[in-house]
Chain A
Amino acid sequence: MDQILSVLPDDAVWTSVGAVADIPVLGARVVRTASGDVALFRTADDAVFALEDRCPHKNGPLSQGIVHGRRVTCPLHNWVIDLATGEAVAPDEGRAGHIPVRVENGAISVALGLAAPAQGGCKGGCHV
Chain B
Amino acid sequence: MDMHHPLSSPDGRIAAQDAPRKERLVVVGNGMAGMRTVEELLAKAPDRYEITVFGAEPLPNYNRIMLSPVLAGEKTFDQIVLNSRAWYEDNAITLLTGEPVESVDRAAKTVTSASGRVVGYDRLLLATGSMPFIIPVPGSTLPGVIGFRDLADVDAMLAAAAKGGRAVVIGGGLLGLEAANGLRVKGMDVTVIHLMPTLMERQLDPSAGMLLQRELERRGITVLTGADTAEIMGGERAEAVRLKDGTELPADIVVMAVGIRPNMALGKAAGLECGRGIRVDDAMRTSDPAVFAVGECVEHRGVTWGLVAPLFEMAKVLADALADGESAYTGSVTSTKLKVTGVDVFSAGDFSGGEGTEEIVFRDAARGVYKRLVLKDDKLLGAVLYGDTKDGGWYFSLLKDGADVSGERDTMIFGQGFGGADAGNPNAAVAALPDSAEICGCNGVCKGTIVQAITSKGLTSLDEVRAHTKASASCGSCTGTVERLLAVTAGDAFKAGPAVKPMCKCTQHSHDVVRAAIVAKNLRTMPEVFQALEWTTADGCASCRPALNYYLLCAWPGEYADDYQSRFINERAHANIQKDGTYSVVPRMWGGLTSASELRAIADVVDKFAIPTVKVTGGQRIDLFGVKKEDLPAVWADLNAAGMVSGHAYAKGLRTVKTCVGSEWCRFGTQDSTGLGVKLERMTWGTWTPHKVKLAVSGCPRNCAEATIKDLGVVCVDSGYELHVGGNGGLHVRACDLLAKVATEEEVLEYTGAFMQLYREEARYLERTAPWVERVGLDHIKQALVEDPEGRKALHARFLFSQSFSQDDPWAERAAKGVDRHEFSLLAKVG
Which of B302, B539, B546 contacts A44 (CB under 8 A)?
B539
Q: Which B residue's beta carbon lies closest to that of A64?
A: B569
Mark contacts of A69-94 with chain B using CB atoms, 8 A cut-off: 1 yes-contact digit, 0 otherwise. Answer: 11101011010100011000000000
The verdict on A1 contacting B565 (CB below 8 Å), with A45-B205, A80-B542, A126-B580 known, is no
Q: For the complex, what is the distance from the CA of A43 to the CA of B565, rounded to whole Å?
A: 11
Minimum-distance CB pairs A-B, first 6: A73-B542, A29-B827, A47-B352, A34-B831, A66-B542, A26-B565
Instruction: Answer yes or no: A23 CB below 8 A from chain B CBs.
Output: yes
Which of A3, A15, A44 contacts B205 (CB under 8 A)?
A44
Which stretch of B354-362, B593-601, B673-681, B706-714 is in the interface? B354-362
- Which residues of B760-794 have CB atoms within 8 Å of chain A's CB atoms? none
B residues within 8 A CB of A114? Answer: none
| CB <8 Å contact, B565 and A6 | no
Interface residues on B, range: 35 or more
Q: Which A residue's beta carbon lies closest to that of B527?
A: A44
Instruction: Answer yes or no: B415 CB below 8 A from chain A CBs.
Output: no
Q: Which B residue's beta carbon lies closest to that of A40?
A: B827
Q: Which B residue's beta carbon lies closest to that of A104?
A: B302
Contacts A/B (CB < 8 Å), 24 sampled:
A1-B350, A2-B303, A15-B830, A15-B831, A17-B830, A25-B197, A25-B565, A30-B826, A31-B826, A31-B827, A46-B201, A46-B352, A61-B577, A61-B581, A65-B542, A66-B565, A68-B539, A68-B541, A69-B537, A69-B541, A73-B542, A75-B569, A85-B356, A112-B831
Q: Which A residue's beta carbon lies closest to that of B207?
A: A44
Q: For the A-B complex with A59-B581, A65-B542 known, give 16 more contacts whose Cβ atoms are closer than 8 Å.
A: A25-B197, A26-B539, A29-B822, A31-B828, A32-B828, A34-B830, A44-B206, A65-B569, A66-B565, A68-B545, A69-B538, A70-B357, A73-B541, A73-B542, A84-B354, A85-B356
Taking the closest CB of chain A, its distance from the CB of B323, in whole angstroms, is 31
B residues within 8 A CB of A30? Answer: 826-827
- Which residues of B190-229 have CB atoms within 8 Å of chain A's CB atoms? 197, 201-202, 205-206
| CB <8 Å contact, A85 and B828 | no
B residues within 8 A CB of A45? Answer: 205, 351-353, 538
Instruction: Answer yes or no: A115 CB below 8 A from chain B CBs.
Output: no
Taking the closest CB of chain B, its distance from the CB of A66, in whole angstroms, is 4
Instruction: Answer yes or no: B276 CB below 8 A from chain A CBs.
Output: yes
B residues within 8 A CB of A32? Answer: 826, 828-830
Instruction: Answer yes or no: B479 CB below 8 A from chain A CBs.
Output: no
Taking the closest CB of chain A, its distance from the CB of B209, in whole angstroms, is 10
B residues within 8 A CB of A126? Answer: 580
Q: For the complex, what is the distance from the CA of A11 to the CA of B831, rounded to whole Å?
A: 18
B residues within 8 A CB of A31? Answer: 826-830
A residues within 8 A CB of B830? Answer: 15, 17, 31-34, 112
Q: For the complex, what is the distance from the CA of A3 to the CA of B353, rounded to whole Å?
A: 9
Q: Is the interface of B mostly helix, strand, loop or mixed?
A: loop
Instruction: Answer yes or no: B579 CB below 8 A from chain A CBs.
Output: yes
Q: Which A residue's beta carbon lies closest to that of B831?
A: A34
Mark contacts of B793-831 with chain A using CB atoms, 8 A cut-off: 1 yes-contact digit, 0 otherwise. Answer: 000000000000000000000000000001000111111
Which of B206, B540, B545, B827 contacts A18 (CB under 8 A)?
B827
Mark contacts of A20-38 with chain B using CB atoms, 8 A cut-off: 1 yes-contact digit, 0 otherwise. Answer: 0011111101111111000
| CB <8 Å contact, B545 and A127 | no
The verdict on A18 contacting B579 (CB below 8 Å), with A5-B355, A65-B542, A65-B569 known, is no
B residues within 8 A CB of A85? Answer: 355-356
A residues within 8 A CB of B357? Answer: 70, 84
Q: Which B residue's beta carbon lies closest to that of A23?
A: B827
Taking the closest CB of chain B, its distance from the CB of A20, in whole angstroms, is 11
Q: For the complex, what is the distance from the CA of A81 to the CA of B541, rounded to whole Å?
A: 12
| CB <8 Å contact, A1 and B827 | no
Q: Which A residue's beta carbon lies closest to that of B354?
A: A5
Q: For the complex, what is the distance from the CA of A1 to the CA of B349, rounded to whole Å?
A: 10
Q: For the complex, what is the distance from the CA of A80 to the CA of B541, rounded to whole Å?
A: 10
Q: For the complex, what is the distance from the CA of A114 to the CA of B710, rounded to whole Å?
A: 53
Taking the closest CB of chain B, its distance from the CB of A2, in whole angstroms, is 6
A residues within 8 A CB of B540? Answer: 68
Instruction: Answer yes or no: B573 CB below 8 A from chain A CBs.
Output: yes
Q: Which B residue's beta carbon lies closest to that of A26?
A: B565
Taking the closest CB of chain B, its distance from the CB of A17, in whole angstroms, is 4
Mark contacts of B573-591 with chain A using CB atoms, 8 A cut-off: 1 yes-contact digit, 0 otherwise. Answer: 1000101110000000000
| CB <8 Å contact, A64 and B351 | no
